[in-house]
Structures are given as structure tokens and as C-alpha cells.
Amino acid sequence: MIVGDELPPGVADADDMPAPSANASLTGPFPFGDEVSTDLSHASATARADWNDGAMNGFVINEGNQTMGYYDGTDIPYYWDYASNYVIDDNFFSSQMSGSFPNHLYIASGTNGPGASVNGSANVSKWLKNGYVLDTYPGTTASGPMLSGLALNWMALAQELTEYNVSWSWYTGENPSVPSYWNVLPYFTYFQQNPNQIHLHLKSVGEFASDISSGQLRFHG
């Protein structure tokens, strides 16, 4: 069995260990087969507990045995074919040990603060500290709604491109004008104050292929 960069010497792999039981004291990698896995926690606190100051031994303790499950080529042949023929996220790490929202802020601006502020929101301390966004704010879904009074008061890369007259587009799989923790640009103060920039530059994913075909995507040297 091939597992990423291979397991360290002395660590049993899935071929040598039975599937874990609820009270197993030792859990090795095991195949999911046709079992449907669940979405594990993305929270910052969970990630740090899993990491455990670098020991990297908190996954099963904090999130259960599913952290060690995997699918192989017989389970997901199409994905396996992609991985065999194209680039995959080998040795990939997120910018922040947290969920989607703060990491999408890194995509848009290279940071998660400081400069985030909220007016009239409860439980801010759970996901916002000293102007930095630490977690995805509670009570939302990927498609919204926008948190009332949320403002990101630092410069996004898109704003800088506009100010230097460099053309750009932001493609999203959702309604481009609706802010969410995937579509983060509308949360930035600059775009709240300049909504015309949203209409000019934010596009649906469906427009990506047509922009390529029409030659609108090009590198600037």
C-alpha cells in the first residue's frame, strides 16, 4: 500500500492492522471502503489540539477514528486517475490552523488581520481576537448570510491591483455579489464602499472557461 511519503519505520500500516473499534487504544490507517465519511471539525481549537504542540498525536483522541480512514483507487477511481496524471496537494498546509473563512482571507489578502471589526454581534470572542479572524464565525453557511456589521479594514490584493490599474477577476462558484466565507471580497471595507468594483470584477465560475476562450486571461510581465 502506498501512503503519501510512506509511514515512518516501525509504524504499522492498514494492511497489518484491523479496522479500529470504538475502544481501540491504537488506531492505524484503515480503508473506508463503501462507508461514507463525515466532515471533521475545521475549528482552530480542534486543529491545535490535533497538532498538540508538534507531537501530531491528537487526531484520534480529539476527532475519532475517522481521521485515519482513507479511500483507494477502487473506491474513487476518477479521483485516483486525476492524482496519477496531474498535480495534487502533496505536502499541502493551510495558511492558518483553522477553517475556511480565515484561510480564504489569506487567499484574498495574504493575512487574516489585524483590522477586522464587528458591530452588534454576540460571541465575537470565539472567532475574533485583537482584530484577527481566528475562525469561521458561528451561525453561518458557505452561501451566507453576511454577518451584520462585519468589516475587514485592511487592503486586499484585488484593491491593490485596482489602484495600480492592473486588470483582475475573482471567480466564485456562488453569486458573486453575495458575501460568504468562500466569497470573501465583499467583506472588505473597500469593496463595501466601492460596490462598483464587485460588479466589474467578481464573476461566476461559469465565466472562467469563456474568458479563457476569448483570451481575457493573460499574464502580466
Q: 75-124: per-residue pLDDT in tens?
A: 999 988 988 888 777 777 889 999 889 999 999 999 999 999 888 666 78
Residues 111 and 179 in one domain: yes
Q: Which domain holds residue 79?
A: 14-85
Residues 111 and 199 in one domain: yes
CA 31 to CA 68: how far, in whole Å? 9
Q: Where are the beta strands (DSSP E) in the chain?
A: 30-31, 69-70, 116-117, 128-129, 132-133, 151-152, 170-172, 202-204
The answer to whether position 148 is within a domain reads yes
Residues 127 and 195 in one domain: yes
DSSP 8-state code for residue 38: P
Pairing of strands 69-70, 30-31: parallel
* Structural domains counted in the chain: 2
DSSP 8-state code for residue 173: S
CA 145 to CA 56: how far, in whole Å? 35
CA 69 to CA 124: how far, in whole Å? 34
Residues 43 and 139 in one domain: no
Residues 70 and 161 in one domain: no
Residues 67 and 129 in one domain: no
Residues 115 and 195 in one domain: yes
pTM of this prediction?
0.77
Mean model confidence pLDDT for the chain: 81
Cell (9 digits) for 213: 476562450
Cell (9 digits) for 94: 493551510
Share of residues in the chain with pLDDT > 70 (%): 80
